[in-house]
């Protein structure tokens, strides 16, 4: 009888399969705490039998593939929720500074308005009192400083969000390049006999991060690669090619304008959109604050210019711009001439004599005059400002509430994905115990059968 080597081949293939199985189990256990890791398993199948001595003999075992437990539907949902979480987190973080900017802790705008109108109300009763004149001027200066301080805080928040956008665009481009490279590696691994599961896990993690930044949509291609597109369908990653987002500073404030392949980038979700939304909201608040400053200056100046000062001369502009630009919250201040000479404060009506305080009374009455207009708002100046603060607070509260809800959704989705594809150490252990017990029992049976057979053969000899 010829020597039959098929038993050696079978043993070798079984050993190789078991070695790979051991590696995969080790990989599963090592990655039990790795976010986004999908449990892997070895898919084995018997090799085709070969004819040996007229009989078909099995050729051992081959490894078909190393399979990851992934549910594409849950993965897609996870990516969408990642985008929502990124957007709401960025929005909440970027809007957080407005809470401090509008907080009225003694030197705020609300207090400034009350003090300003109160100072003119006091001056109305005693218009020639130099100390009251000085106090009224000082309250105007203080109000201008409060407006300017609040505006600078809002501008800083815009600037910080804008810088974050710049940083996020760089991260997004780096991730897009990484995903394109992984696409290429996965294609190669799947074409050969390599294990693409780890590469797919890495790519999933990169896609999750990119979705969190930009809210891209992913599409699985038939060759195992994925394509990523922005909200308008523009590709960010196509197979092994990545396209770069460009962030170009525009306008005097240097806000970034984002483009992809020369066209405006349609960011539909993610941190970048959250930061863009926050910039839009804060910019609107700055604009409203500027309108309040401008309208207040116009109203006060109109009244002030209708009166006469202590010298009997017509009043000039009470509020002016400190930098020569049109009056806004950034540059509102009291005229330098009036600050230097309080007697130039025009509190008396024209021709009424220096003892008259009716102009001061008119300025003081602006506090309750509900016919004033600032931007699209109508009402008294304190009420218009309150409305602005209320709107800003509401925007922040909405962002925070949305984030809290989104975090709960994200936790639920992550748990769902984890239960679908995560590594369960208990299950791994139970599987191994069952495996060992079955093989042990089979080995015992075969050994016992062999012992009896040896006895039978010895009896026959």
Residues engaged in binding other proteins (CB under 8 A): 7, 10-11, 14-15, 18, 21-22, 25-26, 29, 44-46, 58, 60-61, 425, 428-430, 432-450, 452-453, 455-457, 459-460
Nearer to other proteins, 33 or 105 (CB): 33
Instruction: With residue 153 as reference, give the H or E element that holds it.
Output: helix 130-191
Q: Which among 59, 60, 25, 29 has a CA at the least distance from the CA of 42?
A: 25
- Count of alpha carbons within 13 angstroms of residue 257, beta-carbon side: 11
Q: How far is the CB of 21 from other proteins (least distance, A)?
A: 7
What is the nearest approach in angstroms of other proteins to the Cβ of residue 424?
Answer: 11
CB of 54 or CB of 460, closer to other proteins: 460
Closest approach, Cβ 56 to other proteins, in A, equals 10
Q: What is the closest distance, in whole angstroms, from the C-beta atom of residue 416 to other proteins in the complex?
A: 24
For other proteins, give the closer residue by CB, 131 or 450.
Answer: 450
Distances (CA, A) of 320 to 30, 51, 91, 295, 411: 69, 103, 35, 12, 54
For other proteins, the closer of residues 337 and 429 by Cβ is: 429
Pairing mode of beta strands 255-260, 245-250: antiparallel
Least Å distance, CB 27 to other proteins, is 10
Q: Which segments of 269-380 does DSSP mark as H helices, in order?
A: 270-305, 336-340, 358-365
Q: How far is the CB of 417 from other proteins (least distance, A)?
A: 23
The secondary structure of 212-256 as a DSSP string is HHH--EEEE-TTS-EEEE-TTS-EEEETTEE--EEEEEETTTTEE
Place of tokens 């639920």: 412
Give the chain's radius of gyration (CA, Å): 38
- Smallest CA-to-CA distance from 230 within 203, 271, 260, 200 is with 260
Smallest gap, in angstroms, from Cβ of residue 19 to other proteins? 8
**Tokens, residue 5:** 């080597």
Distance CA 266, CA 272 (A): 11
Q: How far is the CB of 197 from other proteins (least distance, A)?
A: 18
The residues, ordered by sequence, that sit 6+ positions from 459 with a Cβ below 8 Å of its Cβ are none
Nearer of residues 71 and 428 to other proteins, judged by Cβ: 428
């Amino acid at each position: 009888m010829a020597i039959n080597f098929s038993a050696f081949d079978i043993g070798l293939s079984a050993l190789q399969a078991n070695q790979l199985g051991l590696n995969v189990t080790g990989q599963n256990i090592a990655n039990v705490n790795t976010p986004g890791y999908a449990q892997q398993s070895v898919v084995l199948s018997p090799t085709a039998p070969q004819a040996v001595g007229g009989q078909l003999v099995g050729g051992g075992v081959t490894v078909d593939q190393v399979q990851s437990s992934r549910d594409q539907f849950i993965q897609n949902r996870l990516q969408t929720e990642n985008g929502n979480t990124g957007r709401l987190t960025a929005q909440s973080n970027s809007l957080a500074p407005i809470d401090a900017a509008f907080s009225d802790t003694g030197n705020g705008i609300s207090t400034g308005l009350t003090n300003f109108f109160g100072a003119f109300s006091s001056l109305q009763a005693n218009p020639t009192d130099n100390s009251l004149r000085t106090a009224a001027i000082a309250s105007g200066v203080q109000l201008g400083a409060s407006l300017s301080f609040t505006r600078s805080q809002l501008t800083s928040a815009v600037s910080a969000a804008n810088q974050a956008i710049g940083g996020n665009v760089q991260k997004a481009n780096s991730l897009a390049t990484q995903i394109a490279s992984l696409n290429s590696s996965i294609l190669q691994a799947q074409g050969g006999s390599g294990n693409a599961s780890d590469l797919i896990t890495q790519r999933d993690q990169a896609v999750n991060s990119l979705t969190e930044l930009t809210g891209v949509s992913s599409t699985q291609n038939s060759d195992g690669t994925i394509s990523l597109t922005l909200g308008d369908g523009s590709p960010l990653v196509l197979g092994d090619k990545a396209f770069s987002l460009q962030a170009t500073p525009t306008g005097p404030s240097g806000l970034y304008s984002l483009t992809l392949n020369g066209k405006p980038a349609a960011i539909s979700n993610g941190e970048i959109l959250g930061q863009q939304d926050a910039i839009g909201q804060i910019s609107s608040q700055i604009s409203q604050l500027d309108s309040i400053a401008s309208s207040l200056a116009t109203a006060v100046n109109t009244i002030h210019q209708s009166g006469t000062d202590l010298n009997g001369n017509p009043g000039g502009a009470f509020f002016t711009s400190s930098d020569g630009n049109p009056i806004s919250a950034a540059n509102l201040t009291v005229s330098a001439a009036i600050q230097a000479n309080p007697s130039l404060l025009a509190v008396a009506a024209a021709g009424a004599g220096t003892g008259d305080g009716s102009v001061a009374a008119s300025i003081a009455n602006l506090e309750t005059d509900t016919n004033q207009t600032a931007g699209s708002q109508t009402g008294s100046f304190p009420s218009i400002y309150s409305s602005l603060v209320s709107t800003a607070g509401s925007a922040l509260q909405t962002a925070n509430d949305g984030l809290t809800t989104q975090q709960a959704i994200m936790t639920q989705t992550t748990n769902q994905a984890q239960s679908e594809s995560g590594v369960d150490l208990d299950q791994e252990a139970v599987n191994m115990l069952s495996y060992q017990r079955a093989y042990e029992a089979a080995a015992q049976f075969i050994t016992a059968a062999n012992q009896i057979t040896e006895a039978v053969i010895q009896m026959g000899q």
